[in-house]
């Protein structure tokens, strides 16, 4: 049975009779990808093509020059992996699971369209910008994806089965906090493929982990193919062979490592903080936040906003233009220092603000203002906060076995982490001459809050020299 599983091709190509209707493209991660006729109807719209103008990693390319890949290629990659996953399940358990053509089409469509509602500059748009311009906003790109799908279908008169469309949208939002509760128990395992709210193992992560690592020039020894080849549905849930426990752990660890070294890189965050300030200042003029509820307007938003701000001569954009100019000239907000919140303080941690730092100044020493400081609260985890995501995963012993079970970390290795989350507080001075004062206030804040300095290094000497030479 195991030999049979490993013998199959990773890329399922269309049947001979359908091949004339499919489109073949070559992807630099997955190789040959075949696009089916229904998917092409969505791809060949201006709304989906917009994803070419959304960089997958937002502004990270200003630190990692190769990170210029787009949401378009990621979405096509997830489409392909979603198709591979369900085709493998059908090949191995087809009669048992009753997987039909509609199921395959639904899963592939969910993979293709899962990011259609993403805003400019990756997650920065919804997590950093919108909360500053819309009070109490609960906007999320998953829900916008659902609105965009309906809009595309209506705008382009796409003939798609209503049942397939409904289930595809449910799969897209399956991992969201706002995901609807599924009352039917029919084929729940299908919802584990694209956006797995049950345990976090899904083809979305498979694609972006490998794609992002390659684009940034980083090594990646996580092999998603092993998980695709060894998965099995037991009691309506996708489970994994117990031998692949460390492969599963490597998935979550590699994702966390990308967050630490790329997505939340100190320089990347400095650039993001500057751009968010620029976008917030520009919003009264550009009215970007007014587009977020109307798909007919929203699809016009992409990463070109930065060029619009940069080249528009309007007086209302003067401050925003200056910030973009500073980013271009590498005159960035200056990283002062960081500390990792102690493990025993994680449960009751509250985000640190600029005001917290200001209130920690020594009286009479300096006169910092809130607008002089930028604070970044960085959370890095294994997808389940302080909980271990592997506790939510079920495994099986061998392919002939139909019993599923969890595996405790202690049964595998004592080297696996006892804590599954880091909270890192970083502080930046918006002007280089303020680095010393901000750093001192930041140290005072740590002493007042924790009774010690939690940071591991002092203000870089070259920055001190720069300060004293001013």
For residues 132 and 135, give the distance between their C-alpha atoms in angstroms, rounded to a whole number.
7
Place of tokens 């997955």: 30
Tally the residues of the chain: 470
What is the separation of C-alpha 110 from the centre of its chain, rounded to a whole number of angstroms? 17
Is there a catalytic annotation at residue 348?
no
For residues 234 and 238, give the distance between their C-alpha atoms in angstroms, rounded to a whole number.
6
Q: Which secondary structure element, helix H or strand E, spans residue 381, and what is its range?
A: strand 373-381
Distances (CA, A) of 456 to 119, 337, 425: 36, 9, 12
Contact 171, 141 (CB under 8 A): no
| Secondary structure of 322-368 as H, E, C letters | HHHHHHHCCCCCEEEEEEECCHHHCCCCCCCCHHHHHCCCCCCCCCC
Instruction: Report which DSSP code applies to 70.
Output: B
What is the separation of C-alpha 455 from the centre of its chain, rounded to a whole number of angstroms? 27
- Kindly compute the dihedral angle of the four CA atoms of residues 364, 365, 370, 375, in this order, to the nearest 10 degrees: -150
Q: Of 30, 118, 141, 249, which residue is the catalytic one?
A: 141
Give catalytic residue positions. Answer: 141
């Amino acid at each position: 049975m195991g030999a049979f599983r490993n013998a199959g091709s990773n890329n399922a190509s269309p049947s001979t009779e359908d091949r004339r209707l499919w489109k073949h493209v070559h992807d630099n991660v997955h190789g040959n990808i075949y696009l089916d006729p229904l998917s092409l109807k969505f791809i060949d719209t201006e709304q989906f093509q917009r994803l070419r103008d959304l960089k997958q990693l937002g502004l990270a390319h200003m630190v990692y020059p190769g990170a210029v890949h787009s949401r378009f290629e990621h979405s096509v990659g997830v489409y392909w992996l979603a198709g591979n996953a369900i085709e493998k399940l059908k090949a191995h358990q087809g009669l048992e699971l009753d997987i039909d053509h509609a199921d395959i089409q639904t899963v592939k469509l969910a993979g293709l369209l899962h990011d259609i509602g993403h805003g400019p500059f990756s997650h920065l748009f919804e997590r950093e910008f919108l909360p500053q311009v819309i009070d109490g906003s609960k906007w999320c790109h998953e829900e916008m994806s659902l609105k965009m799908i309906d809009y595309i279908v209506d705008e382009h008169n796409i003939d798609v089965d209503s049942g397939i469309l409904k289930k595809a949208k449910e799969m897209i939002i399956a991992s969201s906090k706002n995901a609807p509760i599924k009352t039917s128990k029919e084929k729940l395992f299908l919802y584990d493929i694209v956006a797995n709210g049950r345990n976090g193992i899904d083809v979305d992560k498979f694609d972006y982990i490998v794609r992002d690592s390659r684009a940034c020039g980083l090594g990646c020894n996580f092999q998603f193919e092993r998980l695709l080849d060894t998965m099995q549905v037991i009691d309506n849930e996708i489970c994994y062979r117990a031998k692949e426990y460390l492969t599963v752990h490597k998935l979550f660890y590699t994702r966390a490592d990308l967050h630490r070294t790329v997505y939340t890189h100190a320089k990347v965050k400095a650039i993001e903080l500057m751009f968010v300030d620029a976008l917030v200042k520009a919003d009264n003029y550009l009215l970007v936040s007014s587009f977020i509820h109307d798909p007919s307007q929203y699809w016009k938003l992409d990463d070109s906003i930065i060029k619009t701000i940069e080249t528009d001569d309007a007086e209302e954009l003067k401050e925003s233009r200056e910030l973009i100019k500073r980013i271009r000239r590498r005159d960035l907000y200056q990283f002062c220092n960081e500390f990792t919140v102690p493990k025993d303080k994680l449960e009751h941690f509250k985000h640190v603000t600029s005001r917290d730092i200001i209130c920690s100044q020594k009286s009479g020493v300096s006169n910092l203002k809130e607008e002089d400081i930028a604070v970044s609260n960085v959370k890095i985890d294994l997808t389940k906060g302080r909980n271990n995501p592997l506790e939510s995963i079920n495994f099986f012993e061998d392919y002939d076995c139909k019993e599923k079970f969890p595996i405790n970390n202690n049964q595998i290795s004592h080297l696996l982490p006892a804590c599954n989350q880091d909270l890192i507080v970083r502080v930046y001075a918006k002007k280089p001459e303020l680095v010393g004062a901000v750093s001192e206030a930041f140290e005072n804040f740590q002493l007042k809050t924790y009774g010690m300095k939690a940071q591991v290094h002092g203000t870089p000497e070259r920055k001190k020299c720069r300060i004293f030479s001013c």
